[in-house]
């Protein structure tokens, strides 16, 4: 579910779909109306229109069979389903039904609704129930593998607040839990995962990514939500909202692998520094995996997309070194302010002239050059897929040797609450450092 990127709407230079031949016949299926079964072009003017039930009467081998007149590229859904069905996922042990009810230029309230379910969400429920009946007739049991969520560009341009985004993501979690219970998946036992394609598009009016910030936060704090940054995927350079068809294939593979990890019981945590300390001008950050810098796939915005600031403003970084899961930053001076923070992917977005404003992708989006050392292939012989550092991540810095300082009342009220996992990490690491 989501907006235009989820549906595969792409730039006019690419009026084609990549997957015209079913990639895994008999394994990856879609509604007979297509992987994006809406009978109208999926943009906001069709947001309140029910999908014609004749377009999901049955389920067929998935492919993007589109006339050349339709400007829509690859949906992330098909490559995600192929990755999930592949060697890291089902490994041929079942079938996957995939569909997208995404609508371009729409908001969360138009897609899902905070209270009453809106039409796109109703469309998803209707197709899901039809898929359950299809599975039952085949003598099989339907399980919801997950929801791929890609939304936020329109809301962000409407100056949505971080609090509103936070509330919407919590609502999405509750509604997907209810959806899972419809097919017997209880949240306490088989919670339906939500994999979020993190928005790399900065708000048109300010360059600030409120949606991306809360998406990253939710995937650390809300159970069953997981993050896939998108800035590394192929996209036209310049202002815009849409990835290329190649980029959609890349993102689909990453999303599908994340789902496979979840159901295999593997670690699904996205890539970020979970603890940071400073001693003098040296800042040491500890990450969730072994990392490296990669400037061949993502253009370096400076210091690999890492920034450092305190209450006085940003402090220049002189050098970044990486060893294993530790990233060490050398500052140009010792900070003198309060509330020191290390930030990932907070800058680099390029402002272009025109109504579409800031860019996206590996050259002009909010981004970082840090990724995991280890990559995987979603299909045999395919390109390696890595986990990239989450953008809009901020973490408070533990200052070694500094006197304890009490935050002001306003600072305490504004500080985000650490999730329980982060608190446990901090406690264990401080014990190792002798700071009980």
Q: What is the structure's pLDDT at 236?
A: 81
- Does a structural domain hold residue 268? no
Identify whether residues 64 and 188 lie together within a single domain: yes
Per the domain annotation, does 291 fall within a domain? yes
Asked whether the beta carbons of 107 and 124 are under 8 A apart, the reply is: no
**Residue 29 sits in a domain of what CATH number?**
3.40.50.1110
What is residue 412's predicted lDDT score, i.e. its pLDDT? 40
| Dihedral in degrees, nearest 10, Cα atoms 366, 271, 168, 309 | -50
Chain centroid offset of residue 152 CA:
11
What per-residue confidence (pLDDT) applies to 424?
A: 52
pLDDT of residue 432: 45
Is position 420 within any domain?
A: no
- DSSP notation for 124-149: HHHHHHHHHHHHHHTT-------EEE
Question: Cα separation of 132 and 56, whole Å?
Answer: 12
50 within some domain: yes
Q: What is the pLDDT of residue 59?
A: 96
Helix (H) / strand (E) containing 176: helix 162-182
SS3 readout for 233-270: CCCCCCECCCCCHHHHHHHHHHHHHHHHHHHCCCCCCC
319 and 220 within one domain: no
Reading the block at residue 258, the tokens are: 């994340």
Crossing angle of the two packed helices 210-221 and 162-182, in degrees rounded to 10: 50
**C-alpha–C-alpha distance, residues 372 and 317, integer Å:** 22
For residues 193 and 286, membership in a common domain is answered with: no
Find the domain containing 289 and state its range: 273-404
Neighbours of 39 (CB within 10 A): 14
Segments in the chain below pLDDT 70: 11-20, 64-73, 203-208, 354-356, 402-436
pLDDT at site 22: 80
pTM of the model: 0.90
Q: Is the domain of 55 the same as that of 170?
A: yes
Number of domains observed in the structure of the chain:
2
Domain presence at residue 411:
no
C-alpha–C-alpha distance, residues 215 and 162, integer Å: 10
One domain, residues 309 and 345: yes
- 18 located within any domain: yes
What's the confidence (pLDDT) of residue 23? 84
Task: Break the chain down into helix, strand, coil percent, rounded to 5.
Answer: 30, 20, 50
């Amino acid at each position: 579910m989501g907006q235009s990127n989820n549906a595969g709407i792409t730039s006019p230079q690419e009026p084609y779909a990549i997957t015209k031949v079913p990639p895994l016949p008999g394994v990856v299926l879609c509604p007979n109306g297509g992987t994006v079964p809406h009978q109208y072009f999926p943009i906001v003017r069709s947001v309140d229109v029910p999908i014609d039930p004749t377009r999901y009467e049955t389920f067929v081998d998935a492919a993007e069979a589109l006339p050349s007149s339709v400007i829509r590229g690859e949906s992330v859904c098909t490559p995600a389903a192929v990755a999930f069905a592949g060697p890291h996922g089902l490994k041929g042990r079942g079938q996957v039904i995939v569909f997208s009810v995404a609508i371009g230029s729409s908001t969360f309230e138009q897609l899902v609704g905070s209270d009453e379910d809106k039409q796109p969400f109703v469309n998803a429920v209707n197709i899901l129930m039809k898929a359950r009946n299809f599975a039952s007739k085949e003598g099989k049991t339907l399980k919801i593998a997950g929801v791929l969520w890609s939304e936020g560009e329109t809301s962000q341009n409407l100056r949505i607040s971080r609090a509103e985004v936070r509330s919407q993501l919590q609502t999405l979690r509750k509604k997907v839990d209810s959806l899972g219970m419809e097919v017997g998946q209880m949240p306490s036992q088989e919670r339906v995962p939500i994999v979020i394609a993190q928005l790399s598009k900065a708000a048109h009016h300010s360059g600030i990514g409120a949606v991306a910030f809360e998406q990253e936060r939710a995937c650390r704090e809300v159970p069953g939500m997981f993050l896939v940054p998108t800035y590394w995927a192929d996209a036209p350079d310049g202002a815009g909202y849409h990835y290329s068809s190649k980029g959609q294939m890349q993102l689909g593979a990453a999303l599908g692998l994340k789902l496979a990890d979840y159901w295999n019981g593997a670690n699904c945590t996205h890539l970020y520094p979970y603890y940071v300390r400073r001693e003098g001008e040296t800042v040491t950050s500890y990450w969730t995996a072994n990392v490296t810098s990669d400037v061949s796939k993502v253009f370096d915005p400076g210091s690999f997309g890492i920034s450092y600031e305190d209450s006085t403003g940003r402090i220049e970084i002189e050098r970044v070194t990486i060893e294993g899961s530790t990233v060490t930053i050398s500052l140009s001076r010792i900070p003198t302010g309060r509330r020191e923070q290390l930030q990932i992917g907070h800058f680099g977005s390029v402002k272009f002239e025109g109504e579409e404003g800031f860019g996206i992708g590996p050259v002009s989006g909010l981004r970082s050059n840090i990724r995991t050392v280890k990559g995987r292939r979603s299909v045999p012989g395919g390109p390696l897929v890595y986990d990239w550092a989450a953008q809009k991540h901020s973490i408070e810095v533990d200052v070694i040797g500094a006197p304890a300082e009490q935050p002001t009342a306003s600072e305490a009220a504004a500080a985000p609450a650490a999730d329980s996992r982060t608190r446990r990490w901090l406690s264990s690491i401080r014990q190792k450092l002798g700071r009980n």
